[in-house]
Structure 1
C-alpha cells in the first residue's frame, strides 16, 4: 500500500521548479545516490513542463510503496484533459527511469507513474519515518520556488562575478603582455641601432687604421731611404743638404700625425686642459693664414681676408685657436680645385665672435653634414676623394671649440657648390 509523502499542484512555470526541487529533496531523504536524485528531478521537471504546455494544470504526487522489497519511491504525474500520452511523448523520461507506466482514465486524463527502487542496504521507510519526511518537508519555506530561483540566481551571479574577475585578470595580463612586448620591441630596436652604430664604428676604425698606416709608411720609407743615401761616402754636399731637408719635412709630418693622435686620445678621455688668457681672434686668423699662404699659392687660390678694425677678444688658448683656424683653412685649400677662391671673415655680434671660412670647392653632401664632425668620418671621405690626411681635423675642431664654450657648423648646397664653416666663440672683454 503506498504511503503518501507530498503532492505538488502544477499550474505555472514556478510550480515546475518547485516539483523538481521537491523531487530532489525527497530522493535525498529516501537515501538515493546523487545521480539517481538528478535523474528523478529531471524526469519530474520534464513531465511537469508537459502539463503546463499542453493542459495548463496538473499535479505531482510522491509516495513510498512497501508492499514488496526493495521499497519503491513512486512519483505520480496526473494531467487532466482529452490528450492521451504515449511512450513517444515520454522518450526522454524512458532514458532516465527504468520503471514507469502510462494510464488513461475515463475522462481522458493521463497518469504517468515513475517507480524507483530504494537502496536495499538502507533503513526501511516505515509509516512513522514517512510521516517524519512529510513534517520535515512541510517545515521548509513556503516560497520554495522563489528560494530555488534565488539559489540559481546566486549561483549564476557568482559565476558571472568569477567570469568578470577572470576577464579583468585577462585584460590586465593582456595589457602587461602588450607593455612587455612594446618594451621588448623598443629594446630590440635600441640593440639594432647600437649594433649598427658599433658596426659602422668598427668599419671606420679599420679605414682609419689603413689611412694611418699609409700616412706613416710613406714618411718612414722616405726617411729610411734618405738615411741610407747619407751613409754613402760619395754623396755630394748639395745632395746631403737635400736629403737632410727631406728627413726634416717627413719628421715634421709624422710629428703632426702623432700630435693629432694624442689630441684625439686626450679628447676621448676628456683630459684636454686649456691655459686660457685674453686672445684677439684677429691675431689668431693672421697667424693661421701665414701658416697656409704657401699652400694656397701652390694651388693658385685667391685668398680674401676680411678683419674688423676693432679687437675681437675671447678667453682661450691661442695655440689651440690657431690650430682650429688652421685646420679649417687647410681643409678649404685641400678640397678646392686649383684656381679656387677662399674667403675668411671675422665679425663680432650678439656677444659672440664669429669666424667664417667659405670656399667654392667640391662641396659637402647633405647626408654627410650631420656627422661631419664625428671621428673617422673625414677619414672615409678623404679616402674617396683621394686626399691625404687622417681626417681627424674636424673632430678636433669641434672638441676644442666646445672646450672654449664655442661651436662650429657647416653648410653647403651640395656637391660642386663649395661650403662654409662657421666658428662661434663667446666674446670676452680685453
Structure 2
C-alpha cells in the first residue's frame, strides 16, 4: 500500500515548489503571490528509492467556514486526515511568524508523524529562521531549498523511517491460492506425525511409540475447507545438551529451518506432561523467529478432568509465556482425530492477526493515552520524550517509536508498550516488534 504525504503550511512558504520538486514535474502553479493554490493537488512522488502519493494543499489561514479561505482550509484539513505523514513547511528566511503557530498546533493534534521543513534555506541562508523553528515543538527542522533542490538527502533521511524497509519487506499479499505454510513442532513423541496423518486422512508419515522416528522435515500439501495448506512435519526437538548424534543434529537444523519458512507454527505439547522446560524453549524460539503461534495440547483423550486441566493450562500459558500472551491453546487428539477443526480455526485466526496493519492515526491516539496513563521515567532529571509511533511492517507487526533519549528507555517500559498494543489492537499470541528511533539534529555537526 502506497504511503500518502501531505505538504501543509501557511501561504507562500514554498509548498507547491516542493511538490513540483518531488513529482519531478511542474504540475502545481508557482508564483511569488500568496494563495495561488486553492484545491488539493495529488501526484506520484519519488525520492531516492521511496515512492509515495504526495498532496499539495492551500496555504492555511484563519477564516470563517463559509468563506473561500475557510473552504480552502477544509480541503487542507481533509488532506491531513488522509495523510500518513505530514510535511509542515515554514519559510526559514522569514522565520517563524504568528500565523505558523496555530497551524503547527493543528498538525500536532492530528496525531500523524510530522516532519518540519525549513524551506528557502539555500546556501546556508535562513539558518537563523531554521533554528527558530525549534520553538514550534515539532522536532528537528530539515533545512532545504525546494527551488534549488538542496537538502533533499536530509528530507529522504527524515521520511525513510515512515516507510517499510525494503530489506525487511516480505510479500504481504494474501493470495488465497497461495498455500498457508504451517509447521508442526514439539518435543520427541508429542504425536506430530500422528496428527498430520489424521489431518491428511492417510498413513502418510511413519509413526510409532519410539521417540525420534521423524528425521527430515516433510512437507505435505493439504486442503482445509477449500483453503490450500502446506504442512511441515518436523523432527522432535530435545535440549541441545542431549543432542550428540550427528544425524539428530541435522534433523534439528532441518526442523528449525521449517520454523523459519513457516507462517504459522503449531507447538504440539503432550497434554499428560505439558509445559516442560523444553516446550517453553520451543515457544521462545518461535517467538524469536517472529512466527504466528498456536499451542496444541495433544493426547487430550488420555486426560481425565479435561475441563479443569484446560483452565489450569491456559492460566499456565499466560504465566509462563508472557512474550506470546493470549496465544490460542487448543486441546486435540491426533490418534482419535478430535480437535482438528478448532486447531485450524485458531491457525487462520492467528495468521490474520500476524498480518495486521494499524493506521498511524489510531496508533498515535492509543500512544497518547498510554503515555498519559504511564509516562516514561526521567533520566538525569530530564524526562524521556516519546513523540509518535508508526507501523513499519507486518508479519509480524513491527512498530517504530520516535522520540528523544530512547536509548535510556527501560525494557520494562517497552514491555508496557508491547502489552498495551497487544490488548488495544487484539493481537493475542502474535510476536510484536518495537524499534526505538531517535531523531538527529541536522545542525549538530559533531554527531555527523
Which TM-score bucket, shorter chain as reference? under 0.3
Q: TM-score scaled by structure 2?
A: 0.20
Which structure carries more helix by proportion? 1
Q: Rg bigger for which structure?
A: 1
Q: TM-score scaled by structure 1?
A: 0.21
